[in-house]
Each structure stands twice: as structure tokens, then as C-alpha cells.
Amino acid sequence: MEKVEGHFEMFQILNEDGKVVNKEALPDLSDEELTEMMERMVYTRIWDQRAISLNRQGRLGFYAPVAGQEASMIGSHYALEKEDWILPGYRDVPQIVWHGMPLYQAFLYSRGHFHGGQIPEEVNVLMPQIIIGAQIVQTAGVALGLKRKNKDNVAVTYTGDGGASQGDFYEGMNFAGAYNAPAIFIVQNNRFAISVPVEQQSAAKTIAQKAVAAGINGVQVDGMDVLAVYAATKDARENALNDEGPTLIETLCYRYGPHTMAGDDPTRYRTSELDDEWEKKDPLVRFRKYLEEKKLWSEDKENEIVDKAKDDIKAAIKEADNAPKQKVSDLIEIMNETLPANLQKQLEEYREKESK
């Protein structure tokens, strides 16, 4: 009997040298759109470098590095529409910022400031989920809500390979499949759930094949290839809106940094040989070669984006620094739309203390 993983060979458009290996699958993108995707990836790489530095200076709190996963993040997000909903994991801050969340609020979120969670009304995102896999179930619910309201939009969620080992992962996909909800589940398989290699998390040879049990579509994609990720996500979105069911997308990628900046040391569980192997697959290098061949990218253009990213980050961190310091009364006041009597009393007590 043929094993199920045989149906989930990796989908790729650009190889490591930036050469097209699947011409039929090339997405219909203009030169301006191709350039914009590269701009966003370069910007995100610089943002990541600065965020790591700011964390080490004590100017940011929790931070999960993203270098190496830019193609997976930017490619998938670029295939979405403004009115689609994103339910991110804690590493997926770039997607929600590109979806409209102000950068300074992302910095406040990292610091644990409540304003970091006050998402602007017109931005269809939820806050990054810290509980591993919880956003999968929530995505099924949001997607079903969109369907019941006859919206031509999808709910998209992200998790890592570790999230695919959680019970919520199966429950969410199963629910979405049973109700044919317009959902897209993206698993960014960066090979290590903190320090546990993906091979020790599951006997399944691919994460994509787990879609079979839920009765939904599944595809494994080269997560270092921005065009392949874009094409797979666009196809999944069209399928969802054409009532052809949800899709599970597994993007094969790699995080170059630690799991988070909270003391993780990847040298304790990753070999330098493995790091070197994935460095050769760098999504920025690959896409840069492709665009340079098409005369769409240059060193001057890249430097321009680098400078813009640095300026934007400097301005955003300054705006975050100038945000009013949160008080206990703030937290009580925003807890409920209408405060119960006991909290109203506490609010008045804290306001009095804080005024002295």
C-alpha cells in the first residue's frame, strides 16, 4: 500500500540559486509586486536584527526571532486581502504589522503594555497567542463566523511544528473541515519545537499529511521560497472561498536565531553543519538572485530599504518609550465594558492611591 506521505512532496518554484524550477506554477505578479515582497523581507530581517539588539539592551521584553522565516511569513501574508483575519502565534508579529498593526504597538506588546493589545478597529488580527496551538481552534471559530455572515474572506493562522503536536491542532482542523469553514492553517516547520527536533515529535514523515485525517486539503511547501509560499496560500484562499474546504500548509523553513530571547541556546541542540546547510537556502539570498536576474533589484535599492527600516524602528521605539506608563487602574478599567461593583470599588481605590 502506498504511504500517504508520498502524496505530499515539497512544492517549490525557486531553487536555492534563485532559478525557476517550476515555470507552470509561477504566480501572476507584476514587477512592482515582486519588488514589494523583497522590500518587506529585507525590512523584516532588519527589524529582527534591531529587535534582538533592543531586547539585549533591556528595551524590549519577550521576543521570538524570525530570521530565516521571512519567505514563509511575507509570502503567505502577501496572498491575503485586507479584510481577511490573522490569528498569529507569538513569532508571527511581522504578519500582523504588515496587516496594519502599528509597529510601536508591537513593541509595547513585547513590553507587556496593555496598549500593545488594543488593536485598531480596522485591523483584522488577534493578538499573538502564547498558548501553543490555542489559535488553531479559535481560527476554526472565526472562519465559521465569516461563513455564517457570508463574508468573502478567510481566517488564517500560524503555528510551528511544535504546535502541530498539540490536541488543539487536530480539534481545530477537524472542526473547520466538518463545517467546511474558510480557514487556512499554516505550520511553519522550522525543525525544532524549542529544542525538540521534528523527527521526535511525530512518526508522520510530513506535517502536511495530517490534513488527511481532518478531511481537508494539505500541501508541503519550500518555506524558503517566497513565490512558492505565496502561490500555495493564494490557492488555499481561493479554494476556501470556492467552498472547497480549508487547507493545511506546511512550510519547510529554519529559524537562524534562538527560539526566543529568553535564554535559549540553539548551539546545545543544533549542529553547525545543519546551520550551514540552511544558510545556503536563505530566502533573501534566493529571491535577491531571482530579482537581480530580472533587473528588478540592486544593492542601492536594498540599502534604501535598510535605511528606511532603521528609521522606522527608531521612530517606533521612541513612540513606545513615550507611551504613558500603565497603572493598575488602567488594567482594571479595560477589563470589562461595564465593571461589576467589586471592581468599580477597586478602581476608585487605586485611582485615589495613584493620584497621591
Residue 229, C-alpha cell as written in the block: 509560499
Residue 100 carries which DSSP code? T
- Cα distance between residue 128 and residue 114, in whole Å: 13
Q: How far is CA 43 from CA 31, 113, 305, 336, in A?
A: 18, 24, 6, 37
Question: Which positions are annotated as active-site residues?
Answer: 255, 259, 269
Residue 160, C-alpha cell as written in the block: 510551528
| Cβ atoms 180, 245 nearer than 8 A | yes
CB atoms within 10 A of CB 324: 8
Q: Residue 222: enclosing H or E segment and its boundaries? A: strand 217-222
- Cα distance between residue 194 and residue 259, in whole Å: 5
Q: Where are the alpha helices (DSSP H) in the chain?
A: 31-56, 70-78, 93-98, 103-111, 134-148, 167-178, 211-214, 226-241, 272-279, 283-293, 299-321, 328-333, 341-355
- Cα distance between residue 331 and residue 311, in whole Å: 32
- Cα distance between residue 238 and residue 152, in whole Å: 10
Residue 75, C-alpha cell as written in the block: 509570502
Q: Residue 219: enclosing H or E segment and its boundaries? A: strand 217-222
Residue 126, C-alpha cell as written in the block: 488577534
Beta bridge partner(s), residue 24: none
- Cα distance between residue 96 and residue 83, in whole Å: 12
| Cβ atoms 96, 102 nearer than 8 A | no
- Cα distance between residue 140 and residue 180, in whole Å: 10
